[in-house]
Structure 1
C-alpha cells in the first residue's frame, strides 16, 4: 500500500521530533552519574511513563490487539500479578538499591555473594535481553515491510539507527525523556483508534451492543478460574506466575531497574512504580478492547481469510488456488449470515442468538485454519497427507463443535500447523491490526498509528540497549578488566557498548523468524531466564546462610533444567518463572547444606 504524503509527514515528523528532542536535551551528559543514572533528577510521573514505555513495545500493540481479535480479553489475566509485584519491589528492592547507591541491580549480588555470581547473573540478563532487543525491532519491521512493501532489512536498520542516535548521545536520560513523549503519542493514537473504530460500526449498534456481540463469541470472557495447566491464561497463572515474572522483570531486569534508579529520591522511585502498577492493567485491558472492537467491526464488514496479502497471492497462484477461492466464497456467505445475526443482536439479544453467533464464529475459525493449511500446502507439500487425514476427521465431528472429540482433533490440527517451519507465511494474527489501520482508517490517523507502533519499538529497544550497555560496562568490563577507569573513560566505554549492542540488536532482527505470536515469544524468552534470576535475588535477600559458590552452582543447574523443561513443554511458560525461582532456592540450599557437612 502507498501511504499518502500526509501520513508520511505525520509519521516522519513525529519520529524525528522525538529523536531530535532526546538528543538535544541530553547533549551535555559528561559524568557516569549523568549518563547511566540520568543525574538522579527524574520525577515519579516520568519514571512511571518510562517504565510503561519500556514494557510497551510495538509487539504490545500489534500482537495484543491480534490476540484479542482471535481469542478475546483473557490475555489481560497475564498482568494480574503486576500490581502485587510493584508493592513488593517498592518495599524490598528499591530501599536496598537506594541505600547501596548502585548503578545496576547486579552490583548488590557481588556485595552479598561474589564476583562470579554477579557476572553470571549479568550474562543471563545479556543473553535474554539481547535476544529480546532484536525481536522488538524485528516485530514491527517484518509487518511494516509487508504492508508497505519496503525491504525488511532497510526497516531494521532505520529503526535501529534512530534508536542508536539518541541513546548513544544521551544515555539513560535521553531514553527517559523520549519515552515520556512516546507514551503521549501512544495514548493519543490508541484513543483515536478506538474512537474511529466505534464510529465505523453501524449507527444502530451501540457500544453496549458491540460488547454483547463480542461476548456472544466468548471474546469478553476476562476471568478464568480453572486450575487447568493446559490453559495458558487463567487468574491463577496471572496472579502466581505473573507475579513472579513481574518481580523478576521489574526487580532484576536492568532495562527496568535503570528506569527507576534515575529517580530524584527513593520516594519518587516508589511512586513511579506504583503509578505503573495502577495504570498497566487498565492500559492492557484498553488495548485488548481495541482488538475486540476491531473484531466487532468485521462482523459488519468483510474480513480476509488471511491478513497477509502476500500469502493470499501465493496460494491463489498455486495449484490450490481453486480450493482457496471456494473457501473465500464460503467465507462471503458466512459473512452475510454474521452481519444479519449481529444486526438482530443489536435489536435484542437472547440465548438463541448467542448460540448461533458462537456456531458461526466456530465455523469462521475453521475456515481460517483451513486457509492456513492451504497456504502451507502451497508452500510445503509435506503437510498434504497429514492435513487431509485430520481434516476429514474434523469434518465428521464438526456438527458438534463443543464435543471433546472435535476439540481434541482441532487441537491436533493446530499442533500440526504450529510445527511448520514456514509459519511466517500464515501466522496473520500480528498483521490484523496494521491491516485494519491501513485499509479502514482515515488519512492522517494512519500516519499517527504507524508512529505509535514505531515509537513503541524505539522506546523499548532504547531501554534494552541502554541497559545492555550499562551491564556490559559496569558489571563485566568495569569489574573484570584491569586498569584505571575514570569518569570520562567509563562514559566513553558505555557509549561504545551502546553502539555495539544497537548493532547486535539490528543483526538479530535481520535474522529473526516470526513466531506464532510475538508477544508470547518475548514473554517466553523472559520466562526461561527470569525465574532463575529472581531466585538468586531472593536468596541474597532472605537466606543469609547461603554462600556464593552454592548460589553460582545452583543457578547453572537450574538454568539447564529450565531450558530442558521449556524444550519438552513440561508446563505453560508462565509457570517457568515460579518453577525456576523455587528450583534455584532449593538447589542452592541443598548444595550449601552438603558443603556445611563437609
Structure 2
C-alpha cells in the first residue's frame, strides 16, 4: 500500500498536474502535503459510511441481492418460480434475524449466559442461511441462459440510498456522486490529453502549431481517450470485489514501474536512460505476467505486492543492464560494487 500511494501522489499525472499549476515551489509542496492529509479523513468517512450501512441492515430488512436489475432479469428467466420461493423464505428468515437483533440490543444479555448463547446461535444460523440464499442467486445469474452480473458489492450503498432516503435527497445525492466522479474523470482525461500532446504529438510533429491548433488537437485527444476509457470500463467493470479494488488492481499493474523510473531519475542518476527504459519494459511484462498467474491461481500474490515488484525491479534490473547498455559504465559499476 505504501508503494501504491507513493506512486499515486508522487508520480501520477493527474496529481502532478495539480502541483505544476501552483505559483511557487512552496505552494506545490503545500498542495502535496494537504493532499496527503485530506486523504486520511476522507478515507475514514468513506469506510465509516460502509460500517453504518452494515449496522443499519443488522436491524432492518436486507435485500437478498442488492442489484435490483439482476433480480428482474431472474424474474423473467426459467428461475422465476424458484426465485419467488427463495424470496419468501428469505423474508421469513430476515424477520427472525431482526427480532433477535432487537432482542439482543434491548436485553443486553450477559456474555456467556444461556440467553446470549441462544441468540448467538440463532443469528449464526440466519447468517449461514443468508449466505446460502445469496450463493443460490449468484449461481442462477451465472447460468448460461441468464449470464447476469453476480457481483452486487457496488450496489449496496446505491440500493440503500434508493430504498431508504427521501426522494428529493436521493436525486441530490446521486447528482453529487456524478459530479465527484466527473471531477476525477476530467483530471484523468486532461492528463492523458496533455501527455499525448507534449510527449508524442509536439515531439514528433514537424509542423509548428499555433495555440489554437494545439487546443483543438487537445480536445480531439481528450475525446479519443474518453472513448478508450469507456471501452476499458466495459471490460474491467467486474475486476475485484468492488470498484475501489478494481481501480487499485489496475493501478498496481503500472504504478510500481512508474515509481521505479522516478526513483532512478531522482536518486540513481548514474543509470543511463537506455538501461532504465529496457528494464521498465521487462519489469512491466513481468508484473503483468505475475498478475495473470495470480488470476489463474498459479501463485497466490496480493495485487499490492505488484507495486513493490515493479519499483524495486526497475532499480535492480536497471543497475544490471547499465553495465552492458551504458558506454564506459561497466568498469565504474564494478568498482562501486567492490567498494
* TM-score of the pair, normalised by structure 1: 0.49
Q: Identify the residue that residue 332 of structure 1 maps to in structure 2.
A: 95
Given that residues 8 and 255 in structure 2 are in contact (C-alpha distance below 8 angstroms), is that contact kept between their aligned partners in structure 1?
yes
SS in 1 for 2:64: coil
Pairing 1:430–2:160 present: no
Tell me the secondary structure at the aligned position of residue 265 of structure 2. helix
Change (3 A) 1:511 1:525: closer
Aligned to 1:498: 222
Q: CA deviation at 1:495?
A: 2.2
Q: Distance in 1 between matches of 2:118 and 2:254?
A: 45
Change in 2 beyond 3 A, CA 1:358/1:429: farther
User: Is residue 30 of structure 2 the alignment partner of residue 275 of structure 1?
Assistant: no
- Does residue 582 (structure 1) correspond to residue 312 (structure 2)? The answer is yes
Task: Please tell me whether residue 544 in structure 1 is matched to residue 274 in structure 2.
Answer: no
Question: Which of the residues 82, 106, 109 maps onto 1:343?
Answer: 106
- For 1:563 and 1:359, the matched residues in 2 are separated by 45
Counterpart residue number, 2:301: 571
* 2:67 paired residue among 304, 308, 322: 308
Change (3 A) 1:597 1:263: closer
Gaps of at least 5 residues in structure 1 are 1-241, 383-420
1-structure distance, mates of 2:118, 2:317: 54
Q: CA RMSD in A?
A: 2.7
The structure number with the bigger radius of gyration is: 2
1:529 aligns with 2:254: yes
Paired with 1:476 and 1:267, the residues of 2 have a C-alpha distance of: 30
Q: For the Cα contact (< 8 Å) 2:65–2:152, is it kept in 1?
A: yes
Deviation sequence 1:367-410 (CA, Å, 0-9, x none): 3432233223324458xxxxxxxxxxxxxxxxxxxxxxxxxxxx
1:258, CA displacement in angstroms?
0.8
Secondary structure at the aligned position of 1:305 is classed as coil
Query: Of the two structures, which has the highest relative contact order with CA contacts closer than 8 Å and spacing of 6 or more?
Result: 1
Distance 1:586 1:512, change over 3 A: closer
Q: What is the match of residue 297 of structure 2?
A: none
Question: How far apart are the structure 2 equivalents of 1:334 and 1:430?
Answer: 24
Q: 2:242 aligns with which of 517, 520, 537?
A: 517
Q: Equivalent residues in 2 for 1:414-493 (5 A)?
A: 425-493=149-217
Name the counterpart of 1:87.
Answer: none
1:239-289 Cα deviation digits (max 9, x unpaired): xxx221112112111111112211121111111221122221111111211
Deviations 1:183-242 (A, max 9, x none): xxxxxxxxxxxxxxxxxxxxxxxxxxxxxxxxxxxxxxxxxxxxxxxxxxxxxxxxxxx2
The separation in 2 between residues aligned to 1:359 and 1:436, in whole angstroms, is: 28
Matched residue of 2:304: which SS? helix
Task: Give CA-to-partner distance per residue, 1:86-135, whole Å, 9 cap, x none.
Answer: xxxxxxxxxxxxxxxxxxxxxxxxxxxxxxxxxxxxxxxxxxxxxxxxxx
Distance in structure 2 (CA, Å) of the matches to 1:354 and 1:540: 62
Query: Where do 5+ consecutive residues of structure 2 fail to align?
Result: 295-299, 332-339
Counterpart of 2:80 in 1: which secondary structure? coil
Q: Is the 8 A contact 1:320 1:374 kept in 2?
A: no
Post-superposition shift, 1:560? Answer: 0.9
Q: Map of 1:143-154 to 2, 5 A cutoff?
A: none
* Preserved contact between residue 314 and residue 375 of structure 1 (Cα < 8 Å): no
Question: Relative to structure 2, which stretch is displaced further, 433-442 or 478-487?
Answer: 478-487
Offset, 1:320:
3.2
